[in-house]
Amino acid sequence: MYVLIAPCVENPAYRARGITTDEDIRSFCRAARRCRRFSIDMVPLPCPETLYLGAGRPPGSFLDNLATDEFAALLDRLEAEVRAVIRERGEPPLAIIGVDSSPTCGVNTTYHSSEKEPGRGVFLSRFPDIPAIDVKEFARYRVYLAAPLFSEAEQAYNLALHDLLEAHLFDVYLPQEVGDTSHTRCREEHQAIFEQHVAALRNVDTVVAVIDGADADSGTSWEMGYAYALKKKIVALRTDFRIAGHHERVNLMLEESAAVVTKKEDLPRALGSPFLASG
């Protein structure tokens, strides 16, 4: 399994001068860690802008700097080189990991003119047959699974969710694997478990919360509220057909703080699985 990746994800020096932020660097690093975590080869694309304009160039749009016959010919050659790499590997890439706003490697937005516009950059648009994902979206792969975990059935269901999400290349923190679950655990261990869960909530990108039942599990509700305060993305799973009111499937504070799905099979799409990318 491999991805084609904009070369600036591995080496930000390929980007135009002065545009790389600390958050960009963090996203680039997390994207690389996701690839290492799941043994995904990172195959760098060539950088048409650097080849044409050189390193250390000032920022500029496609129309400002790249709308020439010479650049179009360069794109023709680079596209052929990338297609040859794909043929040599004998399988298509999982996706192209691009960088939004780039005139060449944007996925959802690009600076074609002086204003940011929707659509792919001019190089990625040469590969409409390959799904593309913005690097910041690909970098959001760390998931905290908030769910009741007190019975054998609950723990087995949580493991099934864990395996489903890991199969879609998400790194899942599973609270039931942390600490002694017996009723004899000491107060100090309570504190240690609490602190470890809180640290995990701070470090993940997304919380997946199981909110089945006549009333959602209290611990899960707390974790959702804390994640919401941290401005984390929350995806809630409610397979329970009971409703709490005319317009709510569950407590409205939980429902309004999350994207709610009703089947576990819908979780990968809600989380942005690379296998379901269509950018």
What does the pLDDT look like over 96-127, one tens digit per residue? 999 999 999 999 999 998 889 999 999 999 99
Tell whether the model's pLDDT for residue 244 goes beyond 90. Answer: no
Residue 214 in contact with residue 243, Cβ under 8 Å? no
Tell whether the model's pLDDT for residue 186 goes beyond 80. Answer: no
Which stretch of 198-207, 213-222, 269-278 has the lowest confidence by average pLDDT?
213-222
Q: Going by C-beta distance under 8 Å and a sequence separation of 6 or more, which residues neighbour residue 231? A: none
Handedness of CA 159, 161, 165, 171 (dihedral sign): negative
Of 161, 175, 177, 169, give the one whose Cα is nearest residue 142.
169
Higher pLDDT, 256 or 232: 232
Give the separation between CA 64 and CA 112, rounded to whole angstroms.
9
pTM of structure: 0.89
Percent share of the chain, pLDDT over 70: 94
pLDDT band of 257, cuts 50, 70, 90: confident
Which stretch of 33-47, 143-157, 178-192, 250-264 has the lowest confidence by average pLDDT?
178-192
Q: Going by C-beta distance under 8 Å and a sequence separation of 6 or more, which residues neighbour residue 249? A: 238, 240, 243, 255, 260
Give the separation between CA 222 and CA 235, rounded to whole angstroms.
15
Give the pLDDT mean for 90-101: 96
Which long-range contacts link 256-259 to residues 24+ away (Cβ below 8 Å)? 257/224, 257/225, 257/228, 258/209, 258/224, 258/234, 259/233, 259/234, 259/235
Determine the pLDDT at residue 253: 79
pLDDT band of 279, cuts 50, 70, 90: low
Give the separation between CA 231 and CA 220, rounded to whole angstroms.
16
Determine the pLDDT at residue 36: 97
Which stretch of 84-88, 153-157, 244-248, 264-268 has the lowest confidence by average pLDDT?
244-248
Determine the pLDDT at residue 187: 72
* Cα–Cα distances in angstroms (integers) from residue 250 to residues 216, 231, 240, in the given order: 8, 21, 9
Which long-range contacts link 159-163 to residues 24+ away (Cβ below 8 Å)? 160/264, 161/208, 161/210, 161/237, 161/264, 161/267
What does the pLDDT look like over 30-54, one tens digit per residue? 999 999 999 999 999 999 999 999 9
Average pLDDT of the chain to the nearest whole number: 91
What the chain holds in terms of domains, given with CATH numbers, is 2-138 (no CATH), 142-276 (3.40.50.450)
> CA-based angle 54:56:60, to the nearest 5?
85
Give the separation between CA 239 and CA 256, rounded to whole angstroms.
17
